[in-house]
């Protein structure tokens, strides 16, 4: 009987601990999110941000969406000599304690088929979907059409 | 006496030989230095896209108002030419913003400059599209489009590579991302890479504007 109770308590402990681990990790923090105002009648936009995995296990940013755009994708700009190329990016790896930067000239959220121009001073919702962590919806501030960072 | 004088004259001769040898070495060193620096100077601005003579040339395009323009339309002004497209969400706005900042930093000196944005996507970039787009970066920036052939010719003149990437309506265009600086006589002077910042650009342009090339001087 004594053995039964000690086993029962141990199982309960392990169960609680694993449950706690599941809720505490993985977890993603997003900072410095920003986008640019649409230049003229341009149909596309790019959203930039810094992602940090504060959990214990690796995760991935799998997809993105925004109600302001008919289509949103993870894109990467690549430099080959003096030629700049842009293409859809595979899911972005988020390793624990390593910041992934989405910034001009590199990774970005590409917004296509904008339903209306992005206006400076407004905020647009952008939802990030991760492989493990729960999805996050951000309110992304719109900077000037020629902004180079989230402080412009 | 004879022995002594012979000894002295021998010593003088050996000194003279030494002096001659040293002079020859110094002269040779100077010669090598002139050759190296001279060549270095001649080659310095050529680094990057090929040689000076091969960049730029005649083009015929359509401006934001629908008017046909050629390379001669802007003679007398320094040109800053960038090839890109309005559906480009990342690289083009970044580069054009830097260009706009540099123009504003230059103040009245920028009056001698005509910035041009030539599309590599004539299919989607109409004169009207370009008019609204370019004004967002600087009101002085003029967008140029044309038929696919006209764009191909202009790109060829500037040795610009561009290629449609992706399928359907959502294609992007891979393209050379450099800002070309042409002098008031239409000759290539230098270029800025896509990672040049506004300070570097302003400083270089200020220097160029203060020392304009002589008329008709070989480029």
User: Model confidence over B164-196: pLDDT tens digits?
Assistant: 998 888 899 999 999 999 999 999 999 999 778
Whether the predicted pLDDT of A90 surpasses 60: yes
A58 in any annotated domain: yes
Q: A-chain residues within 8 Å CB-CB of B129?
A: 40-42
3-class DSSP state of B6: helix
**In a shared domain, residues B23 and B125:** no
The two beta strands, B142-145 and B162-165, are unpaired
**In a shared domain, residues B9 and B66:** no
B170 neighbors A71 (Cβ within 8 angstroms): yes
Radius of gyration of chain B (CA): 27
**In a shared domain, residues B106 and B10:** no
B126 neighbors B134 (Cβ within 8 angstroms): no
Average pLDDT over residues A109-120: 95
**In a shared domain, residues B199 and B133:** yes
**In a shared domain, residues B138 and B94:** yes
A65 in any annotated domain: yes
Look at residue B35 in the predicted model and tell me its pLDDT: 43
| CATH classification of the domain holding B116 | 3.40.30.10
Q: Is B94 on the interface with A (CB under 8 A)?
A: yes
Q: Hey, which residues does A50 pair with through a beta bridge?
A: A31, A101
A60 in any annotated domain: yes
Whether the predicted pLDDT of A25 surpasses 60: no
Count of domains observed in chain A? 1
| CA–CA distance, B17 with B87 (Å, rounded to integer) | 74
B180 neighbors B160 (Cβ within 8 angstroms): no
Name the helix (H) or strand (E) containing A93: strand A92-94
Residue B64 domain boundaries: 53-210
| CATH classification of the domain holding A114 | 2.60.40.1890
Count of domains observed in chain B? 2
Residue A128 domain boundaries: 26-143
User: Which range, of A13-27, A129-143, B79-93, B182-196, averages the lowest pLDDT?
Assistant: A13-27
Q: A-chain residues within 8 Å CB-CB of B104?
A: none
Whether the predicted pLDDT of A18 surpasses 60: no
CA A118 to each of CA A42, B124, B209: distance values in angstroms, whole numbers, following the listed order: 10, 20, 37
B121 in any annotated domain: yes
Which tokens in the block code for residue B85? 């497209």
Q: B-chain residues within 8 Å CB-CB of A42?
A: 86-87, 89, 129, 133
B99 in any annotated domain: yes
The two beta strands, B172-176 and A123-130, are unpaired
Look at residue B167 in the predicted model and tell me its pLDDT: 83
**In a shared domain, residues B105 and B139:** yes
Look at residue B33 in the predicted model and tell me its pLDDT: 46
Q: Is B119 on the interface with A (CB under 8 A)?
A: no
Does pTM top 0.95 for this prediction? Answer: no
A74 in any annotated domain: yes
Name the stretches of chain B with pLDDT < 50.
Answer: 1-6, 8, 30-51, 219
CA B164 to each of CA A145, B84, B85, B87, B101: distance values in angstroms, whole numbers, following the listed order: 25, 12, 11, 12, 29
A112 in any annotated domain: yes
B107 in any annotated domain: yes
B215 in any annotated domain: no
Look at residue B38 in the predicted model and tell me its pLDDT: 40
Degrees, nearest 5: CA angle A59-A60-A64: 140
Count of positions (residues) in chain A:
152
Look at residue A26 in the predicted model and tell me its pLDDT: 60
**Across the interface, do B98 and A148 touch by the CB < 8 Å criterion?**
yes
A76 in any annotated domain: yes
B117 in any annotated domain: yes
Q: Is B176 on the interface with A (CB under 8 A)?
A: yes
3-class DSSP state of A135: coil
Look at residue B216 in the predicted model and tell me its pLDDT: 62
B213 or A78, which is more confident: A78
**In a shared domain, residues B59 and B137:** yes
Q: Which residue of B has its CA nearest to A48?
A: B90
A14 in any annotated domain: no
A79 in any annotated domain: yes
**In a shared domain, residues B156 and B120:** yes
Query: What is the phi/psi pair of residue B78, to 5°?
Result: -70, 140
Distance from CA of A11 to the nearest CA of B (A): 53
Look at residue B127 in the predicted model and tell me its pLDDT: 97
A55 neighbors A101 (Cβ within 8 angstroms): no
Helix and strand element counts for chain B (H, E) = 5, 9
Contacts of A117 (CB under 8 A, 6+ apart): A37, A38, A41, A42
**In a shared domain, residues B141 and B184:** yes
* Burial per residue of A103-115, b for 16 or more beta-carbon CB atoms within 10 angstroms, e otherwise: bbbbbbbbbbebe
Question: Is the complex ipTM more than 0.90?
Answer: no
**In a shared domain, residues B86 and B141:** yes
């Amino acid at each position: 009987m004594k053995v039964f109770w000690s086993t029962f308590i141990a199982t309960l402990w392990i169960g609680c601990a694993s449950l706690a681990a599941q809720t505490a990790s993985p977890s993603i923090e997003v900072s410095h999110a920003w986008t640019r105002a649409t230049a003229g009648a341009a149909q596309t936009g790019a959203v930039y941000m810094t992602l940090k995995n504060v959990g214990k296990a690796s995760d991935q940013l799998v997809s993105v969406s925004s109600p302001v755009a008919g289509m949103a994708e993870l894109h990467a700009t690549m430099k080959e000599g003096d030629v700049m190329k842009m293409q859809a990016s595979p899911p972005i790896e988020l390793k624990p304690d390593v910041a992934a930067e989405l910034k001009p000239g590199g990774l970005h959220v590409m917004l296509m088929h904008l339903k209306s121009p992005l206006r400076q001073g407004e905020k647009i919702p952008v939802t990030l979907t991760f492989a493990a962590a729960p999805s996050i919806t951000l309110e992304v501030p719109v900077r000037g059409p020629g902004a180079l960072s989230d402080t412009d | 006496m004879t022995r002594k004088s012979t000894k002295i004259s021998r010593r003088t001769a050996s000194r003279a030989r030494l002096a001659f040898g040293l002079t020859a070495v110094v002269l040779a060193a100077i010669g090598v230095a002139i050759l190296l620096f001279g060549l270095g100077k001649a080659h310095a601005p050529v680094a990057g896209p090929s040689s000076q003579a091969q960049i730029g040339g005649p083009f015929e395009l359509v401006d934001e108002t629908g008017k046909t323009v050629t390379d001669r339309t802007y003679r007398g002004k320094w040109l800053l030419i960038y090839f890109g497209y309005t559906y480009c969400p990342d690289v083009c706005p970044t580069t054009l913003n830097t260009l706009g900042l540099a123009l504003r930093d230059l103040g009245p000196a920028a009056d001698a400059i005509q910035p041009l944005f030539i599309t590599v996507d004539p299919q989607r970039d109409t004169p009207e599209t370009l008019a609204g787009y370019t004004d967002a970066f600087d009101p002085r920036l003029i967008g140029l489009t044309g038929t696919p052939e006209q764009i191909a010719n202009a790109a060829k003149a500037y040795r610009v590579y561009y290629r449609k990437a992706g399928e359907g309506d959502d294609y992007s265009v891979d393209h050379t991302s450099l800002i070309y600086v042409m002098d008031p006589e239409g000759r290539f002077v230098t270029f800025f890479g896509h990672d040049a910042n506004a300070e570097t650009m302003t400083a270089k342009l200020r220097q160029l504007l203060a020392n304009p090339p002589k008329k008709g001087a070989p480029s």
